[in-house]
């Protein structure tokens, strides 16, 4: 876990996308990729560099679903609750994962920082419904048992 912010990440992103207002989302996306969330400390820094008020940056960061102001787990498990997954019973998968990891709709990340469980509107993997995405990989035709087996195998990676 990094406690001090590595601002060079932001400098590199601003260099790449340009120090202008329209780069804000791309820069925040890069920051989120690296830090796995948006630490509030970066807002004043970005405000000075991009010439946008902190309030506006905060507005953008909270408007979009993909940005998180809270730390996320090493494995972000997104349970697809798109229409196709929903009618093929994705909700029991979500419930099983939450139960297994002691999480809820409010508490999304485990205390050890390993797992975050959240829903996503649609992964576009409707033909493999119900689908679950862990980081960038899609797991098709899931059910509660398979989802729990997946979590156990990911925990195994940690312990190995």
| Residues at the site binding other proteins, with contacts judged by CB under 8 A | 20-26, 28-29, 52, 56, 59-60, 63-67, 81-84, 86-88, 120-129, 131, 136, 138-140
Closer residue to other proteins, CB minimum distance, 149 or 158: 149
Shortest distance, CB of residue 139 to other proteins, whole angstroms? 7
Q: Is the dihedral of CA 39, 28, 4, 51 positive or negative?
A: negative
Shortest distance, CB of residue 129 to other proteins, whole angstroms? 6
Shortest distance, CB of residue 50 to other proteins, whole angstroms? 8
Tokens 């979590």, residue located: 151
Measure Cα distances from 86 to 36, 89, 129 in Å: 28, 5, 8
Closer residue to other proteins, CB minimum distance, 20 or 158: 20
Task: Report the C-alpha gap between 57 and 48 in whole angstroms.
Answer: 11
- Beta carbons of 74 and 115 less than 8 angstroms apart: yes
Shortest distance, CB of residue 160 to other proteins, whole angstroms? 22
Closer residue to other proteins, CB minimum distance, 81 or 151: 81
- Beta carbons of 76 and 118 less than 8 angstroms apart: yes
Closer residue to other proteins, CB minimum distance, 129 or 151: 129
């Amino acid at each position: 876990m990094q406690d001090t912010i590595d601002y060079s990440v932001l400098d590199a992103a601003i260099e790449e996308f340009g120090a202008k207002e329209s780069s804000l989302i791309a820069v925040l996306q890069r920051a989120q990729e690296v830090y796995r969330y948006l630490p509030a400390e970066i807002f004043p820094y970005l405000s000075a560099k991009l010439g946008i008020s902190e309030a506006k940056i905060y507005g953008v960061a909270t408007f979009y679903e993909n940005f998180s102001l809270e730390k996320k787990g090493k494995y972000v498990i997104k349970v697809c609750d798109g229409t196709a997954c929903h009618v093929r019973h994705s909700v029991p998968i979500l419930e099983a994962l939450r139960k297994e990891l002691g999480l809820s709709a409010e508490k999304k990340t485990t205390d050890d920082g390993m797992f975050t469980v959240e829903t996503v509107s649609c992964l576009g993997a409707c033909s493999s419904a119900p689908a679950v995405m862990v980081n960038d990989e899609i797991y098709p035709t899931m059910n509660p048992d398979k989802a729990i087996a997946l979590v156990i195998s990911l925990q195994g990676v940690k312990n190995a």
